[in-house]
Amino acid sequence: MHVKKKQNWTQPSAHRTTTSSNRRRKAVLLGTVLCIGSGIAQAQQTGDANGAATPQIEETVVVKAKALSAAQKAKDKLDDVPGGTSLVNSDDVEKGRVFTNEDVLAYQPGVFAQAAGGADGIKISVRGSAINRGTNFFRSGILFLFDGLPVTGPGGTPYELFEPLGLSYTEILRGANAFDYGSLALGGAINYVTKTGYDAPKLEFRYEGGSFGYRKSQLSGGAVVGPLDYYVSYTESHRDGYQKQSAGTSRGLVANIGYKVNDDITTRFYFRYRETSNQQPGSLTVQQIEDDPKQANPTNVAQHATRNQPGSTWIGNKTTFRLDGTSKLDVGFVYHDYPIDQELNANSGKWNFTDASASVDYSRSDVLFGKASNSRIGFLITKHLTGDQDTDVRIPGGATAGLPVGTRIRHAEYGGQDAVLHASNDLELAPSVWLTSGLSAINTRRFTEVTFPETDTPYKRTTWDWAPRLGLRFNATPDIQVYGNVSRTVEPPNSWAFLTTPPAFSSGPAKGLARQGLDLKDQTATTFELGTRGKVGNNDWTLSVYRSLVRNELLSVELVPGSGVSTESNASPTVHQGIEASLASLLWQKDGHKVTLRQAYTFSDFNFRDDATFGGNALPGIPRNFYQAQIEYAHPKGFYASFNTQAASSYAIDYANSFYTKGYTIFGATFGYDSPEGWKLFVDFSNLGDKHYVSSVSPTFNLKGSDATNPRSSPGDGFGVFAGFSYAFK
């Protein structure tokens, strides 16, 4: 008998012969094999009783490719970038407490993410981005996105919408490696990707609680109904706080709905809303933190300092058009409204910001000069629709003595627009050798004007700049890649930053407040990077070494030398250089039992380059050495136990390098159970040794050897125990 075998699977595109595509081939070949036609072995006859020929039986073997998850597809795409990237799978994060984005961004090389006072306003710095900022400023130096659509605007990034539950995965693209997202910031981009109806349980409930009066709940669910799918998540949380004057509450809603119009057109609408209210404990001295980290700054306590986000809304849409088998077009729109009520000191600040964004991204695959070629052209624009601030009397005294509470003493207007046109190409020069090239054009506009108590000269500026990029990656084997790139970044100041500096009002209730915008230049950097990623045996690694030559970095600067008065302005040239390394190892495996170890190390060497005042001093605010590790045992029935550590070296608090924090090492542990039936349980232990340590600082110009009269530090939490559970109806 003649047996004919058919294979029904699709070869990966020859245009993507990278490390990731080789892995995809393995997934295809490990698919399910279905044999159609039972009883073939008995059909070995040559004819029936009448001598008629027996019909040939055709055996058909169908090999189906195992579907890749959305997170794995994103990881494969990141592996095609010739520079430092990483991906966080939310399934790993949700094995323990998930309170702030510090929990999401843990164990990521090159990322420094530390909470202060247990609130959402954590300090996030990548490659030294926004090194001059503390924890309660808008985030700067990184393009933040939800589902590939921008949150960051000309004013920076407000942080109240960043609820860490409800995510599928998070992409981190460090430095200029975020080029294709339209990011030109020194720190790159962080893209939070929300669950959809395709990867979410139909209904899930999660609850966490523990030390410091902490409790958090989530109700979520999603489904697919024909061509439509949806996901909805509601969360609320409360925390009394580790420190005095650090209580906080939040509640928010995340939702998206997608619709497949046909095989070539899909669209998805996104919605986020969140309210937060956080008391502000203020900064402490290093000695105060060593003695009693639960205390708060006495001034903040006396003034009942709080920061409230009464309700921020982010609405977006992304529509994908598949034009043909080799090209597609993505079109996105965002509306973002984010009012802020700062009750931090004697005066209150009420901010009103509304942004609108639009993005267009066209990509295609071709054969160029007989070589595989992948091209991309994109445009991203974000604009302030409204931007203003009222400064009102909160606690009368000094220049505002005798004025009623709520009296307006200054009104300022802000305007801004960021537009980026970027084009890139990946060309396969030879088998396993790819050349990446790109060029961005950036246009920025900034406007600010004080209109009360009197109108001063408005500040306006428009700038144009260019950011080229050139990279090379070589896949030495299907599992080992070496890469390098040279790129330029261009980072404009936040729109409100122009009005945080002199000249100021010299008399009246607004005395001491800025009256006119100060001219600031765009911060630029040229970065050289070499690295490798891959797998050998049971070890997966990433390693990047970079050096960024920065000009006009936005730091604390003494505008008039010797005056003792410093403000944010453009500094003399600086250099940011470092090492970013991660290693995930399978240490032992037998009969479904596993022991794994993951490690992340960041070396940060940030310095002035022959500054007239500080010479080659180190830039303050980030530890030179930062290490995180976790070892985990997993039982085949779903039980797991892990132990973790975090260690940081001491670092300067001021640009004069006259005063330093102290290095620290803390430990934690997690025990849990992940049931196939949908139950998840965990117990988290943090800071097992109850270590008193500085988690983050707000850098200043010169402490002259002591922070006694100018506290700049925030403590990390002490020993805490947290427990949680979730149940998913699948």
CB 196 within 8 A of CB 220: no
584-587 long-range Cβ contacts below 8 angstroms, 24+ apart? 584/539, 584/540, 584/541, 585/538, 585/539, 585/540, 586/538, 586/539, 587/538, 587/631
Nearest to 147 by CA among 122, 125, 168, 121: 168
> What totals of helices (H) and strands (E) does the chain contain, helices first?
6, 36
Report residue 360: phi and psi, to 5°. Answer: -135, 130
Task: Give dist(CA 199, CA 218) in Å, integer.
Answer: 17
Task: Give dist(CA 34, CA 130) in Å, integer.
Answer: 56
What is the rounded (10 degree) CA torsion for 509, 513, 515, 517? -170
Q: For 246, what's the count of Cα atoms within 13 Å in the CB-facing half-sphere?
A: 27
CB 593 within 8 A of CB 145: no
Tell me the torsion sign for CA atoms 20, 26, 27, 28: positive
pLDDT of 56 reads: 39
Can you say how many angstroms the Cα of residue 136 is from the centroid of all Cα atoms in its chain?
17
Note the pLDDT tens digit of each residue in 663-698: 999 999 999 999 988 999 999 999 999 999 999 999
Strand 214-225 with 203-210, pairing: antiparallel
DSSP E strand boundaries for 369-513 = 371-393, 408-430, 433-452, 459-477, 480-491
In the β-sheet with 143-146, what is the strand arrangement from edge to edge? 85-89, 167-174, 188-194, 143-146, 149-150
What is the rounded (10 degree) CA torsion for 333, 470, 539, 165? -20
What is the token pair recorded at 466? 């260019």
pLDDT of 10 reads: 33
Q: What stretch of H or E contains 314?
A: strand 306-324
What is the token pair recorded at 484? 């390098």
- Which residue is associated with the tokens 């012969």? 17
Nearest to 137 by CA among 348, 382, 340, 279: 340
Q: Residues with Cβ < 8 Å from 457, sequence gap 6 or more?
A: 516
pLDDT of 711 reads: 95
My answer on whether omega of the bond before 503 falls inside 30° of 0, hence cis, is yes
Q: For 157, what's the count of Cα atoms within 13 Å in the CB-facing half-sphere?
A: 27
Task: Give dist(CA 536, CA 480) in Å, integer.
Answer: 8
Rounded to 10°, the helix 70-78/19-29 angle is 150
CB 456 within 8 A of CB 462: no
pLDDT of 562 reads: 61
Tell me the torsion sign for CA atoms 237, 243, 245, 246: negative
CB atoms within 10 A of CB 261: 12
pLDDT of 137 reads: 72
My answer on whether omega of the bond before 453 falls inside 30° of 0, hence cis, is yes
pLDDT of 13 reads: 37
CB atoms within 10 A of CB 618: 18
Nearest to 92 by CA among 680, 713, 509: 680
Low-confidence ranges of the chain (pLDDT < 70): 1-67, 117-118, 136, 558-566
